[in-house]
A and B are shown apart, each in its own frame.
Chain A
Amino acid sequence: MARVLIVAEHDGRTLNSSTARCVSCAASFEASAIDIAVLAADGAAVAAQAAALEGVTGVIRVDHPANEFPLAAVAAPQICALAADYTHVFGPSTTFGKDLMPRIAALLGVGQVSDIMHAESAWRFQRPIYAGNAILTVETPDDRPVVATVRTASYQAAESTGSAPISERAVEAEIPTHTRYVELRSDSGGGRPDLQTASRVVSGGRGVGSMENFEIIERLADALGAAVGASRAAVDAGYAGNDLQVGQTGKIIAPDLYIAVGISGAIQHLTGIKDAGVIVAINKDEDAPLFEVADIGLVADLFTAVPELIEALGEQAGGNS
């Protein structure tokens, strides 16, 4: 039977929902144990949140000053020390997991399955390749640990209705000192929902034209209570921060509603939104590839259409109140 250890992603206070999505992946092949490892300086709050996830059988707290910030080189040997009791070691396919999990795999002397989107069994997985142009089915050997990242957009977050036991473990590995965390620079947000978990997302592309104009995207997002996203072209041009990039090499998201404004729709962008519920494209170029996958397309100048849409949404909100 499969025994799965999941590495918790958190910021020291709050468990990232990517962890709850990994739990759902492990639950999908009926693992007999789903334990979560919380590495932190003081993991009490995060461990409690992890223990509440439905399906989790145990939480292991590893408190150490070196675990204050998520450094792959620091975390990997500690996870490897815990891995002996498990058949699987999972992490989310976020920048946190992408950084950490291959380091764990190599220390364990095994390969890694990246971006699990479906588990046919505990040892047979599907994952996207070529920017999502193909789905690969791979089988992993059952005589060694399976190290994998879970494509978070493919799984719902497990509910917080459980209550698993929490145990504490001392660090059983040598912690390297060659890597130092300096700081996190984050300028996004503005009180908006998190891009990766938002139910509504409004993204702007090259068509928006400038950093100043990008404000129109933010206004539409605020009118909808949506998160803001951006295409690679918009991020490259400096209209938006890198943490807003949606696509193959940015964030893979699955909101109920995705509105793409002035985004042509390169394949690398489409791979980031293919799990969205309803995709809306607003673009003045009627040949934009995004129209091929959009559920609703509006060929229009965004600088006319978006203010109109903001106004219409305002009227609707007024009418409902």
Chain B
Amino acid sequence: MTVVDTILVPVKRVVDANVRVRVKPDGSGMALDGVKMSINPFDEIALEEALRIRERGETAEVVVASIGPAVCTQQLRAGLAMGADRAILVETELDLEPLTVARTLKALVGRENSELVILGKQAIDGDNNQTGQMLAALWGRPQACFSSELSFSNGIATAMREVDAGIEVIEVELPAVVTTDLRLNEPRYTKLPDILKAKKKPLETLTLGELDVEPQAQFRVLGFETPPERPSGEKVRDVAELVLALRQKGVL
């Protein structure tokens, strides 16, 4: 039985998780020229979960959305190839702060009449861990953050949340925002025919203005630095030497 008509899955284009990024020598930003870009891994988990919900017949439609420059269509096409039904790009050259991203998503939720938004708990570039919570606040709806299991019954979502003390179980009334943790699922691999099929799926482009979102930058970025490196230490040959070294460092 359908639980919601449309699930909105926001995806962020980020540096691939396997790339070791560095600060530019002048400290003005990160050196990102030519590096591999991907869907934020937590958002990929969000999309996988939405697709599984659709495969269970609990939603009619999965919409992926991204906010950023035109090149984000690469990640949206990847999302369509994974199985999303259609895609929306909110095109902007601005590097938006999470609050503006949340305002944009709120506008998209209204436009699409979505009753469930699933997104990553954080993006692996800015590591902010804010957008889902902010969207839920602006929307006046529940949030189930850091979820590792999700099920539905009678208009209520039950989420297992990965918290510091273990697993917290909460129930939230729909509509709601869910953010994903690593162990929610393992995203599927995309097959070549799906990539070809994805080219024919609808991809719509909007502007912030069309969504009545006024971008705001509250923070002033003063610079980027490389953190001090830990000097590499000594190798010991056996356990006896290890115990001796631990004593010498005063930790035994």
**CB within 8 A of B143: which of A103, A144, A243, A309?**
A103
Asked if A219 is an interface residue, CB under 8 A from chain B, the answer is no
- Contact of B127 with A131 in the complex, beta carbons under 8 Å: yes
Contact residues in A for B126 (Cβ distance below 8 Å): 129
The bracket for how many chain A residues form the interface is 35 or more
When each residue 233-272 of chain A gets 1 if its CB lies under 8 Å from chain B and 0 otherwise, what string results?
A: 0011000011100001101000011000000000110000
User: In the bound complex, what is the Cα–Cα distance between A200 and B232 (angstroms)?
Assistant: 20
- Total interface residues on B, using CB and 8 Å? 83
CA distance A292 to B126 in the complex (A): 25
Distance, CA A248 to CA B125, complexed state (A): 11
A133 CA to B29 CA, complexed, in Å: 12
> Contact at B239–A298, with CB atoms within 8 Å?
yes
A214 within 8 A of B: no
> Is the pair A296, B225 in contact by a Cβ cutoff of 8 Å?
no
Residue of B nearest to A123 (CB): B220
Question: Which of A176, A182, A200: most chain B Cβ within 10 A?
Answer: A182
A75 CB, nearest partner CB in chain B, Å:
12
Q: How far is the CB of B1 from chain A (nearest CB, A)?
A: 21
In the complex the two chains form, what is the Cα distance from A191 to B67 in whole Å? 47
Chain A residue with the shortest CB-CB distance to B136: A103
Q: Are A182 and B158 in contact (CB under 8 A)?
A: yes
Chain B residues with CB below 8 A from A274, complex form: 227, 230
Known contacts being A180-B171, A184-B167, A248-B127, is A278 close to B249, with CB within 8 Å?
Answer: yes
Interface centre among B128, B148, B161 (most CB of A within 10 A): B128
Asked if residues A291 and B232 are in contact (CB atoms below 8 Å), the reply is yes
| Complex interface: chain B residues within 8 A of A137 (CB) | 221-225
Please measure, in the bound complex, the distance between the C-alpha atom of A141 and the C-alpha atom of B161, giving whole angstroms. Answer: 34
Q: How far is the CA of A251 from the CA of B146 in the complex (A)?
A: 13
Report whether over half of chain A's contact residues are helix, strand or loop; otherwise say mixed: mixed
Partner of B246, one of A103, A241, A278: A278
Q: From A134, A181, A309, give the contact of B21 (CB < 8 A).
A: A134
Partner of A105, one of B130, B145, B176: B130
Determine if A184 and B30 form an interchain contact, defined as CB atoms under 8 angstroms apart.
Answer: no
A187 & B166 in contact (Cβ 8 Å cutoff): yes
Q: Is B196 an interface residue (CB 8 A)?
A: no
Contacts of B99 in A (CB 8 A): 105-106, 109-112
Residue from the list B142, B238, B251 in contact with A300, Cβ < 8 A: B238
A241 to chain B, nearest CB (A): 7
Binary flags per residue of A129-144, CB closer than 8 Å to B gives 1, else 0: 1111111111111001
Residues of chain B within 8 A (CB-CB) of A308 are 239
Q: A111-B99, A137-B221, A179-B142 are in contact. Are A130 and B21 (CB under 8 A)?
A: yes
In the complex, which of the residues B97, B172, B182 contacts A178, with contact meaning CB atoms closer than 8 Å? B172
A46 to chain B, nearest CB (A): 16
A115–B227 Cα gap in the complex (Å)?
A: 15
Which A residues contact B (CB, under 8 angstroms)?
11, 71-73, 76, 94-96, 98-107, 109-115, 124, 128-141, 144, 176, 178-188, 196, 200, 232, 235-236, 241-243, 248-249, 251, 256-257, 267-268, 274, 277-280, 291-300, 305, 308-309, 312-313, 316
* 11 A–B contacts from the bound complex (CB under 8 Å): A106-B99, A111-B97, A114-B127, A135-B227, A137-B225, A139-B219, A185-B160, A186-B166, A243-B165, A278-B251, A296-B245
